[in-house]
A and B are shown apart, each in its own frame.
Chain A
Amino acid sequence: MRAVALRDRSIAARACGAALAATLALVAAGCGGGTEDAAAPPAPIDSPVDAAAAGRVIGRVTLEGTPPAAEVINRRADPYCEELGEARTETYMVSRSGALQNVFIFVKDGLGDLHFPIPTEPVVLDQRGCTYVPRVFGIQAGQALDIFNSDDTLHNVHAAPELNREFNRGQGLQGMRHTHVFTTPEVMVPFQCDVHDWMHAWVGVLDHPFHATTAADGTFAIDGLPPGTYTIEAWHEELGPLTRTVTIEPTAEIETSFTFTM
């Protein structure tokens, strides 16, 4: 009987050991997150663009087809947000004429090895009315992003990039600010608030300043482009990317439009 008892306990001990070893292996495999990107500020440089010869790209983005109707967001999880009044989903911001808002337009290719100065003015992302303002925007790698909480409730600012460093900061009080600098170009980096699961924003991180976001009438303008041939991309959070190729002559204004279909 003693031999049986010892054998069974030995089997049980081995089983427990295997379970704990498997757990530790899982933890070990998970190590490696949380690395910090180097954040050393680059040396200032002058713009390589001759302002007298620079051109401009303008255009309009439209949507063909009928998008899903904007739905009322259930914000009962936070009384503060609920008391602000009804809010609707902003995935498809489409006018009656089909103009599509919140499309990120940027130069994807064609700038070669040009390097551009990093703006000293920070870009602002605000949490206001239990939503991100703006929802879609661009920034230059190395440029400061100031994230504010203008709401009298808690938000967490959770950016989940693939190339840059992920971060998740709590802003428990109204008026709090967090400054972040993305170091690597990446289109797009998603933001979300895990407290309020309807809050989403996207930022396009570029190594140049040539980007825009469509307005309510679907229009956009990218100024100051040096003469050349460029691939312009339009990105929408649900509809994905569309690209166009344009050639800019000195001081010229080129019009190009994008039409998403669904």
Chain B
Amino acid sequence: MLHRYAILVATATAVLIFAGGLVTSTGSGLSVPDWPNTYGWFMFSFPLDKMVGGIRFEHTHRLIASTVGFLILVQAVWLRLAEPRAWVRRLGYVALAAVVAQGVLGGITVLWFLPTPVSVAHASLAQIVFCLTVSIALVTSRGWADAYGTSAPASNDAIMRRLAGGLVALVYTQIVVGAVMRHTGAGLAIPDFPLAFGALLPPQWDAGIAVHFAHRVGALLVSLTALALGGHVLAHHRARRELRRPAVLLLVLVAAQVTLGAYTVLSGKHYIINSLHVVTGATVLVTSVVIALRVFRGTFPEAAGLDAAGAGRTDAAYAPEAGARA
């Protein structure tokens, strides 16, 4: 039950990221000038008939964010009460702290008229919150508890460890660069694709073109690393279902993400395409996190009976419900 709830929380976080993408893509970030109130109304009592124009996106984003914050609070309490592994309980607390910080950043960026560093921090922390909620969903699953029924942990494969860990770092960096591009209005600094002003390298440079081009180079690096990881999994660990499935998903998502990125430019930043690009990027990140966690599964405490569970609880009490394999 806890695992299913954690999946709900992670799904809600993905919806929240999409809603946040819509706010930026429609330029609605300042359509509600006050925070935490909305035009002086308490957030939850703001009349529906007044949700017009940009307010539809900004206020809806706030409502979803509040809901996700509440879901993560409940999750932290639930973990506190029912989770025997201390490090998983701590993960719940960290997720709660991160989502609270995220809410405060969202408020600050509105009250300070969207300063780029704060807006980028807001976008970047959102990805960490998503990673945390997905990680909690993963480590509360039956499959994780069973160590995916293998006695040969993939963490013995040094190449895969490097690829999996490296991909997470690379995708997160790429998303931060994308956030900088997005919040500095450089999304169309290079107006054509796949070339840049008709050439492989931009013939002229400024800050906007540089960050935009860096995002394209990052996309290439992420794609190559994802291909390498996916290829490695399929070539050497094909029998490992828990790796094969997310690896295939990763390749599909990366292909979709590159397509969406191209279409974002070619469509002149259509707000739906742009927002889908944001949430798909987040999904690429959490997929790479899932692969990395599964690759490193054998090194986690409960695999070696090392968990120093607090409050008198022991690993013996760690038995996720049946049917919660993920």
Number of A residues with CB within 8 Å of any CB on chain B: 41
Does chain A have a CB within 8 A of B113? yes
Least CB distance from B121 to A in Å reads 4
* B binding-site residues for A, Cβ under 8 Å: 26-34, 39-41, 50, 52-56, 87, 94, 101, 105, 108-109, 111-113, 115-118, 120-121, 124-125, 128, 155, 165, 169, 172, 176, 296, 298-301, 303-304, 306
* B124 proximity list for chain A (CB < 8 A): 19, 22-23, 26
Task: Flag if B28 contacts A194 (CB, 8 Å).
Answer: yes
Cβ-defined partner of A170 (8 Å) among B33, B52, B121: B33
Task: Flag if A27 contacts B118 (CB, 8 Å).
Answer: yes
Cβ-defined partner of A80 (8 Å) among B52, B118, B120, B298: B52
Known: A27-B105, A30-B115, A77-B53. Is A156-B27 also a contact (CB below 8 A)?
Answer: no
Task: Flag if B31 contacts A172 (CB, 8 Å).
Answer: no
A-B contact pairs, 11 of them (CB 8 A): A1-B298, A4-B299, A9-B299, A19-B124, A22-B176, A23-B101, A26-B118, A77-B52, A158-B30, A195-B31, A195-B54
Task: Flag if B33 contacts A196 (CB, 8 Å).
Answer: no
Task: Flag if A8 contacts B113 (CB, 8 Å).
Answer: no
Task: Flag if A5 contacts B300 (CB, 8 Å).
Answer: yes
Q: Please, how many angstroms separate the alpha-carbon atoms of A22 and B125 in the complex?
A: 10
Task: Flag if A156 contacts B52 (CB, 8 Å).
Answer: no
Q: Please, how many angstroms separate the alpha-carbon atoms of A172 and B41 in the complex?
A: 10
Cβ-defined partner of B31 (8 Å) among A4, A9, A23, A156: A156
Cβ-defined partner of A27 (8 Å) among B117, B176, B306: B117
Task: Flag if A5 contacts B105 (CB, 8 Å).
Answer: no
6 interchain residue pairs of minimum CB distance: A172-B39, A30-B117, A30-B118, A195-B53, A26-B121, A78-B52
Cβ-defined partner of B52 (8 Å) among A1, A8, A26, A195: A195
Does chain B have a CB within 8 A of A96? no
Least CB distance from B86 to A in Å reads 12
Q: Please, how many angstroms separate the alpha-carbon atoms of A169 and B143 in the complex?
A: 52
Least CB distance from A252 to B in Å reads 46
Least CB distance from B244 to A in Å reads 23
Q: Please, how many angstroms separate the alpha-carbon atoms of A170 and B37 in the complex?
A: 11
* B34 proximity list for chain A (CB < 8 A): 170
Most central of B34, B52, B128, B306 by chain A CB within 10 Å: B52
Interface string of A65-81 (1 = CB under 8 A from B): 00000000000011111
Q: Please, how many angstroms separate the alpha-carbon atoms of A106 and B292 in the complex?
A: 64
Write the chain B residue with the least CB distance to A160.
B113
Cβ-defined partner of A33 (8 Å) among B101, B115, B121, B165: B115
* B303 proximity list for chain A (CB < 8 A): 1, 5
* A24 proximity list for chain B (CB < 8 A): 121
Cβ-defined partner of B53 (8 Å) among A2, A15, A19, A196: A196
Task: Flag if B52 contacts A154 (CB, 8 Å).
Answer: yes
* B101 proximity list for chain A (CB < 8 A): 23
Task: Flag if A27 contacts B30 (CB, 8 Å).
Answer: no
Task: Flag if A23 contacts B32 (CB, 8 Å).
Answer: no
Interface residue ranges of A139-160 to B (CB < 8 Å): 153-154, 156, 158, 160
Interface string of A117-157 (1 = CB under 8 A from B): 00000000000000000000000000000000000011010
Does chain B have a CB within 8 A of A34? yes
Task: Flag if A27 contacts B31 (CB, 8 Å).
Answer: no
Task: Flag if B125 contacts A23 (CB, 8 Å).
Answer: yes
Task: Flag if B52 contacts A79 (CB, 8 Å).
Answer: yes
Known: A27-B121, A172-B50. Is A33-B113 also a contact (CB below 8 A)?
Answer: yes
Task: Flag if B33 contacts A168 (CB, 8 Å).
Answer: yes
Known: A19-B128, A26-B120, A27-B118. Is A33-B299 also a contact (CB below 8 A)?
Answer: no
Q: Please, how many angstroms separate the alpha-carbon atoms of A154 and B52 in the complex?
A: 8
Does chain B have a CB within 8 A of A29? yes
Cβ-defined partner of B301 (8 Å) among A5, A16, A154, A170: A5
* B176 proximity list for chain A (CB < 8 A): 22
Task: Flag if A15 contacts B306 (CB, 8 Å).
Answer: no
* A33 proximity list for chain B (CB < 8 A): 112-113, 115
Does chain B have a CB within 8 A of A207? no
Least CB distance from B255 to A in Å reads 27
Does chain B have a CB within 8 A of A166? yes
Interface string of A20-46 (1 = CB under 8 A from B): 101110111110011000000000000
Task: Flag if A23 contacts B121 (CB, 8 Å).
Answer: yes
Q: Please, how many angstroms separate the alpha-carbon atoms of A8 and B101 in the complex?
A: 26
* B87 proximity list for chain A (CB < 8 A): 9
Known: A168-B30, A194-B27. Is A8-B112 also a contact (CB below 8 A)?
Answer: no
Interface residue ranges of A1-19 to B (CB < 8 Å): 1-2, 4-5, 8-9, 11, 15-16, 19
Write the chain A residue with the least CB distance to B104.
A27
Task: Flag if A34 contacts B111 (CB, 8 Å).
Answer: yes
* B27 proximity list for chain A (CB < 8 A): 194, 197
